[in-house]
Amino acid sequence: MHGNMLRLVLIISAIVLQFSTCSVLIEKIDEERVENQCNLSEDLVNEIRGYKNVVSKITDHILNGKFKGEVHKSLQIFTDKFGSRMAGSDALEKAIDYMEDLLKNEGLENVHTESAKVPHWIRGYESATLVQPRKAKIELLGLGTTVGTPRGGIIGEVVAVRTFDELQKLPDSEVKGKIVVFAPTWQGYGATVRYRSSGASEASKKGAIAALIRSATPFSIASPHTGSQNYAQGVKKIPTACITVEDAEMIWRLYNEGENVQIRLEMEDYNLEPVISRNTVSELQGTTSPNKSVVILSGHLDSWDVGVGAMDDGGGAFISWKAVKFLKDMGLRPKRTIRSVLWTAEEYGYYGAKEYAKQHKENELEEFNFFIESDTGTFDPVGLDFTGNKDAECIFKEVLSLMAPLNATQFATPADGGPDISVWLDRGFPGASLLNKNERYFWFHHTDGDTMLVEDPDSLDRCVALFASTAYIIADLSVDIPKDVKN
């Protein structure tokens, strides 16, 4: 009994530690709790609760009717046809052409694309080999926008550290001319990914000739995870790549055991001039003022050049436009327009969303009512997380309480799974992103493992039903969702 109790305490402590690294407030929403916390008018509360039958209709049609399994089937056709879709590639642009034609054929309204300038980076031949104290192949994936090595590669002695603080404490003379290997412990994606984003710059400041970073994942089967990185202004650009958790840990151990660790690195990656890509737009136009108080449903269409981008973010993109299609097919046309936007070049830093914001800046207060995005997987949905002022939160919680038929009434704040819509949410627009059982998301994230095998048809159906129900209610309410927008 004592041993079991000890294990239970350790498990609970680990869970508390995991969630203590973020400031997200999570709660399950029900009607009574919303009523106790908020001061919404009785008329508005009754109006929102009057949509219960609509939610039931949407849920039944998607989970049990003719729409069942349609999202998975369409996503499978798409990913099989185009595979990975990296920004700047012909594959992405052909996929956008395909989606524009498909959305028109599906009968959606105002289908068009809007241009955005995006980075164009090419992954060339990449190879890494441990040459001292023994010879072994090191699996790696160059990070987006990395420069390559000189022709023929480089060989460098290794300095291995866990943290940026450890690196800063080393004299520059101990780092200059060497390859820095970062082996941070997993502390959640937000805390760990900064080594991927900034590792090359921090190593370069100390005189390193390259930087190799432990993949940002809690679980590994010797698969490297790619992703974006950013060179700080004024630093020398050095080659940088992610390596597997297993190799990073092995190199760190060898280094700390006093071994002379050397790696041969060859990378033929390079950057070209930016090119023009496109955001893909379709709508279910509202019955009144189609271009005012629009509700946005979104996901990004680009992916990395490994896997096929089924999970990141094909699923998110497809539940967004399918929600619009299903509502149209069910004859559910709200007062306000529901607009699906399939963003481009999210992986490099929200290039499509940022350009869309610039193009719509002049009338944004009048045009946009609410934003929704999915970009942390489309596993079983449990609710939605939210960013907005207190009045908006009260209305949103009342809407979310209606999602009981989907077992998706969980509320969290702030919104954490909508990187593209953060362009608006960070300035005071209200919005939400999908909460789902995505404990395995970072197992496959930015790897060759991001394939259709990760996607489940029933989970996708529940996700699209949640998006369709939420978007319809918000778009049909007698009031706009309140906002406090900063320029």
**178 located within any domain:** yes
Q: Is the pLDDT of residue 11 over 80?
A: no
**355 located within any domain:** yes
Same domain, 29 and 109: yes
Same domain, 111 and 167: no
Same domain, 230 and 283: no
Residues pairing with 300 in the sheet: 343
Q: What is the pTM of this model?
A: 0.92
Same domain, 309 and 424: yes
Q: What is the mean pLDDT of residues 455-475?
A: 98
- Residue 487 confidence (pLDDT): 78
- Residue 304 confidence (pLDDT): 98
Same domain, 163 and 106: no
- Give the pLDDT band (50/70/90) at residue 479: very high
455 is an active site residue = no
Same domain, 251 and 320: no
Say if CB 310 and CB 79 are below 8 A apart. yes
pLDDT tens digit sequence for 432-445: 999 999 999 999 99
Same domain, 87 and 133: no
Same domain, 315 and 463: yes
DSSP string over 211-268: EEEE-S-S--SS-----B--PPTTSPP--EEEE-HHHHHHHHHHHHTT---EEEEEE-
Q: Mean pLDDT for the chain?
A: 94
pLDDT tens digit sequence for 206-235: 999 999 999 999 999 999 999 999 999 999
CATH of the domain at 221: 3.50.30.30
Q: C-alpha angle 78/84/89, rounded to 5°?
A: 110
Q: Is the pLDDT of residue 135 over 60?
A: yes
**12 located within any domain:** no
Same domain, 240 and 278: no
- Give the pLDDT band (50/70/90) at residue 4: very low
Say if CB 140 and CB 130 are below 8 A apart. no
Q: What is the mean pLDDT of residues 381-391?
A: 97
Last residue of a domain, one of 250, 268, 286: 268
**15 located within any domain:** no
Same domain, 432 and 339: yes
Same domain, 257 and 278: no
Say if CB 343 and CB 352 are below 8 A apart. yes
Q: Could you tell me the CA-to-CA distances from 116 to 39, 40, 149, 278, 359 in Å, in that order?
A: 42, 41, 30, 5, 10
CATH of the domain at 446: 3.40.630.10
| Number of domains, the chain | 2
Last residue of a domain, one of 233, 268, 303: 268
**351 located within any domain:** yes
- Give the pLDDT band (50/70/90) at residue 290: confident
pLDDT tens digit sequence for 324-368: 999 999 999 999 999 999 999 999 999 999 999 999 999 999 999
- Residue 129 confidence (pLDDT): 98
Residue at token pair 């973010």: 313
pLDDT tens digit sequence for 262-278: 999 999 999 999 999 99
Among the listed residues 100, 202, 346, 398, the single catalytic one is 346
Q: What is the mean pLDDT of residues 379-387?
A: 98
**3 located within any domain:** no
- Residue 9 confidence (pLDDT): 37
Provide, rounded to the nearest whole percent, the portion of the chain with pLDDT above 90.
Answer: 91
5/285: higher pLDDT: 285
Sheet bearing 179-182, strands edge to edge: 136-138, 126-132, 262-267, 154-161, 179-182, 210-214, 240-243, 140-142
Strands (E) located in 29-108: none
- Residue 289 confidence (pLDDT): 79
- Give the pLDDT band (50/70/90) at residue 12: very low
Same domain, 326 and 453: yes
Say if CB 356 and CB 344 are below 8 A apart. no
- Give the pLDDT band (50/70/90) at residue 27: low
- Residue 324 confidence (pLDDT): 98
Last residue of a domain, one of 253, 268, 283: 268
**251 located within any domain:** yes
**134 located within any domain:** yes
Q: Range of 378's domain?
A: 23-121+274-476
Q: What is the mean pLDDT of residues 441-457?
A: 98
